[in-house]
A and B are shown apart, each in its own frame.
Chain A
Amino acid sequence: MVSGSALSAAAKQAEQLRKDGNIYFKKDRFGAAIDAYTEAITLCPNVPVYWTNRALCHRRRNEWLKVEEDCRRAIQLDYSSVKAHYMLGLALLQKQELDEGVKELQKALDLGRGANPKGYMVDEIWQELAKAKYMLWEHASSKRSWELQSLKEACETALREKHFLDDSQPEGFLDEAGISHMKQLEVLRQVFRKAGEADIPCEVPDYLCCKITLDIFCDPVITPSGVTYERAVILDHLQKVGKFDPITREQLDQSQLVPNLAIKEAVQAYLDKHGWAYKLD
């Protein structure tokens, strides 16, 4: 049975060790930082931050299994830890567990946005999530394309053979059956093209893109003139260029910006269907 004062002494020592670890970390001395955090953990194993800090060090050394272990422990202690979910997500992606990794990254993003929508972490998490979603799409769409291609060829072959068997005519005789067969193949091509359309990268519709950067929206906001921009970009414009709407040139203050929730939903629906659009150049 540990006495009250011994408990708080341990806690104070652990905090000191954490500060030491942070200093080592800033100097890129990850081994030393890990040692310090490990000692802190030994003294006070139920403080989530010690685990996530150590996980950060493991991440810098690319020791992903250790990242996973420490993050899982941190999540057990604090389910709302943004950093823990984020790094767990990254670790799972490293193991090629794409679905689970994406789930964790999404959790981290939702928690992060809830806490501080303009925090630097939110940007970084979004970038990693977009990368992962793109990989998921790439994997699924290759499989789909191959399936479509095989089936298309099988149908073309089957239709041709059937036509040959059903309607053997002397050469040069373009009869009704012949025309209908050519039309069949044409419609077949159209059908397969349509079925595979969503997987073919093309131009994202204008109304889903920022009027300044022309990139697909992340956090769209609308001005009193009715124009929609990417939040970070318009804020930057207002600060560095001038307090006016870039397109209509009407006066504009950042307090007048309204989140275009409907467009945000539209963007998500588009990304769900066209995973290639997650690729951010």
Chain B
Amino acid sequence: MIDEIWQELAKAKYLQWEHASSKRSWELKSLKEACETALKEKHFLDDSHPGSFSDEAIISHMKQLEVLSRVFKEAGEADIPGEVPDYLCCKITLDILRDPVITPSGVTYERTVILEHLQKVGKFDPVTREPLDHSQLVPNLAIKEAVQAYLDGHGWAYNTN
């Protein structure tokens, strides 16, 4: 039941993000084009007297456009689906953690996944191979908070496919 609720919640959060981010992307794209056009026109107007298509002016204008590209890329970065950082993912499934637990070896796994491993594969830590019992699993509260903070800033990560 809880799993089902979580799936629906994740779907809804993803749609929320998709909607808001399309709007943001469109806004950014328009503004970027407007700035590029305005800067180009200004450059043409400022330097259109004979003999002053100086290399310096051209280089500085090219540099401007380069920095502009970078600025808009950074401003829109959070909305571009990428790779979720390693430390926020289960070491077995490589999916973003939902209920992270840590073993005495210091490795963090998704709770249901490590419990299944202990039951079906063996009572040892999958990564370090040290002996492991389910009673030794500790909730990694700090990482749980970190995952939530990441999802708040990167809504695309709610898409669990």
**Taking beta carbons and an 8 Å cutoff, which residues of A are in contact with B?**
147-148, 151, 154-155, 157-159, 161-162, 184, 187-188, 190-192, 194-195, 205-208, 220, 222-228, 258-263, 265-266, 269
Contacts and interface: CB of A to CB of B under 8 A. Distances in A.
Nearest to A264: B87
Given A187-B31, A222-B142, A151 B71 contact: yes
B106 A261 contact: yes
Contacts of A191: 28, 31, 71-72, 75
Given A147-B67, A194-B74, A265-B87, A155 B106 contact: no
A266 B106 contact: no
12 contacts: A151-B64, A155-B38, A158-B38, A184-B31, A187-B28, A195-B71, A205-B149, A207-B149, A208-B142, A263-B140, A263-B143, A269-B87
Nearest to B78: A194
A158 B100 contact: no
B71 A192 contact: yes
Given A261-B107, A262-B100, A265-B87, A155 B138 contact: no
A266 B88 CA distance: 8
Interface residues of B, number: 39
Interface in B67-107: 67-68, 70-72, 74-75, 85-88, 100, 102-107
B146 interface: yes
- B-side interface mostly: helix
A259 B100 CA distance: 15
Given A159-B38, A162-B38, A207-B143, 8 more contacts: A154-B42, A161-B42, A162-B37, A191-B75, A195-B72, A222-B102, A258-B106, A266-B146
Contacts of A224: 138
B39 interface: yes
A155 B142 contact: no
Interface string B29-65: 0010011011101100000000000000000000010
B126 interface: no
Contacts of B85: 265-266, 269
Contacts of A269: 85, 87
B112 to A, nearest CB: 17
Contact of B141 (A147, A159, A228): A228
B42 A258 contact: no
A236 to B, nearest CB: 20
